[in-house]
């Protein structure tokens, strides 16, 4: 039985997803249950379970997620200040984490309430 994470299977094209960006460190695709008109998941190729499990050697992957977010926001036309986007990382039960492979949510395309629920 495969011990790949769900998101590794998406990266390896074993499970279909709409991939919008990829580079040497990460892959980004549309969330299957979008919470905004733009809802992208940006995932490191390395299956770090969650942000609190990252170690010093993961610094490059962690930085790559944020750099990718800026590029994707530009690609999707939401980078300018008059629009904008939000990045979210959920860790653990209280935050609603459901997939144990680190991912950054990029949400945009509507006004996003603050504070979040």
What residues make contact with ligand 5GP under the rule CB under 6 A? 6, 15, 17, 29-33, 41, 90, 96-99
CA distance 68 to 20: 11
Q: State in angstroms the smallest separation of the CB of 64 from ligand 5GP.
A: 18
Quick one: 32 or 66, whose CB is closer to ligand 5GP? 32
Q: State in angstroms the smallest separation of the CB of 54 from ligand 5GP.
A: 15
Contact 21, 65 (CB under 8 A): no
CA distance 5 to 100: 8
103 noted as active-site residue: yes
66: CB partners within 8 A, 6+ apart: 87, 104
Residue 107 CB coordination number (10 Å): 21
Quick one: 5 or 84, whose CB is closer to ligand 5GP? 5
Quick one: 41 or 65, whose CB is closer to ligand 5GP? 41
Active-site residues, by number, are 103
């Amino acid at each position: 039985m495969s011990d790949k994470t769900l998101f590794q299977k998406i990266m390896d094209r074993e499970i279909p997803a709409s991939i919008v960006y990829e580079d040497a460190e990460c892959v980004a695709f549309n969330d299957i249950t979008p919470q905004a008109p733009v809802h992208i998941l940006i995932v490191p190729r390395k299956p770090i379970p969650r942000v609190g499990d990252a170690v010093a050697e993961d610094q490059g992957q962690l930085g790559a997620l944020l750099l990718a977010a800026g590029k994707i926001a530009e690609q999707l036309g939401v980078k300018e200040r008059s629009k904008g986007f939000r990045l979210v990382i959920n860790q653990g039960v209280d935050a609603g984490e459901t997939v144990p492979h680190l991912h950054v949510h990029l949400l945009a395309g509507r006004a996003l309430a603050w504070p979040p629920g």
